[in-house]
A and B are shown apart, each in its own frame.
Chain A
Amino acid sequence: GIQVEQSPPDLILQEGANSTLRCNFSDSVNNLQWFHQNPWGQLINLFYIPSGTKQNGRLSATTVATERYSLLYISSSQTTDSGVYFCAVERSGTSYGKLTFGQGTILTVHP
């Protein structure tokens, strides 16, 4: 199956700092999503971004499908950004939204 690798595995920031999270995948994809799991366990969809660039407030994401990676940018981080960030993909050739998740990046933002 498709492999999804996220880096870094852990990231510690001071409030106000910027960060970049990376997701590499081993095959072509037709679906790529970023999620945030907050400290209470809730999974929130951040972006559906199989290609191109999107922005939502302080967060933005870019997927370069031809080079098989995606980046999630967090600017001016806040303590509420803490949690685990997951990248998930579906390999091209299937079309049911069968996502394969990476292991996640654990982000801790200190005040």
Chain B
Amino acid sequence: DAGITQSPRHKVTETGTPVTLRCHQTENHRYMYWYRQDPGHGLRLIHYSYGVKDTDKGEVSDGYSVSRSKTEDFLLTLESATSSQTSVYFCAISDSPYNEQFFGPGTRLTVL
């Protein structure tokens, strides 16, 4: 299995607080992605990275920011969490945009 970890695995927070989720990989893959999974919406791309300090928006990026200061880490930040951001967040990695994506175990975030 690809070496991908996500932290924390579960988090409960309150509306208006900042939250940072971390994705860490040991595969030295160039491409990293953040998705959210919600009932009725499937998985949707939030942000992606195609190299260190190279990031761009996905389909549902409002309210989220990302940073990638080194190859192995991709951080997702909710500047001021809202209840609509309650979801399961998945990180994925790939060595190429034309190859398989491998997913981390997910982070379940609840915003009260």
Partner-contacting stretch, out of A20-28, A41-49, A62-70 = A41-49
- A41 touching B101, Cβ below 8 Å: no
Q: Which residue on B lies nearest to A94, using beta carbons?
A: B97
Residues of A within 8 A of B (CB): 1, 30-31, 33, 35, 41-45, 48, 50, 86, 88, 90, 95-104
Q: How many residues belonging to B are interface residues under a CB distance threshold of 8 Å?
A: 26
Q: Which residue on B lies nearest to A41, using beta carbons?
A: B106
Name the prevailing secondary structure of the B interface residues.
Answer: strand
- B42 touching A104, Cβ below 8 Å: yes
- B100 touching A45, Cβ below 8 Å: yes
- B97 touching A90, Cβ below 8 Å: yes
Interface residue? B74 (CB, 8 A): no
- B103 touching A42, Cβ below 8 Å: yes
Count: A-B pairs, CB below 8 Å: 62
- A96 touching B101, Cβ below 8 Å: no
Task: Determine the chain B residues whose CB is within 8 A of the CB of A90 once the complex forms.
Answer: 97
- B90 touching A96, Cβ below 8 Å: no
Q: In whole angstroms, how far apart are the Cα atoms of A24 and B103 in the complex?
A: 23
- Given A31-B97, A41-B106, A42-B105: A102 touches B48 (CB 8 Å cut-off): no
Interface residue? B44 (CB, 8 A): yes
- B48 touching A98, Cβ below 8 Å: yes
Q: Which residue on B lies nearest to A43, using beta carbons?
A: B103
- Given A1-B59, A96-B50: A48 touches B99 (CB 8 Å cut-off): yes
Interface residue? B14 (CB, 8 A): no
- B97 touching A96, Cβ below 8 Å: yes
Q: Which residue on A lies nearest to B44, using beta carbons?
A: A101
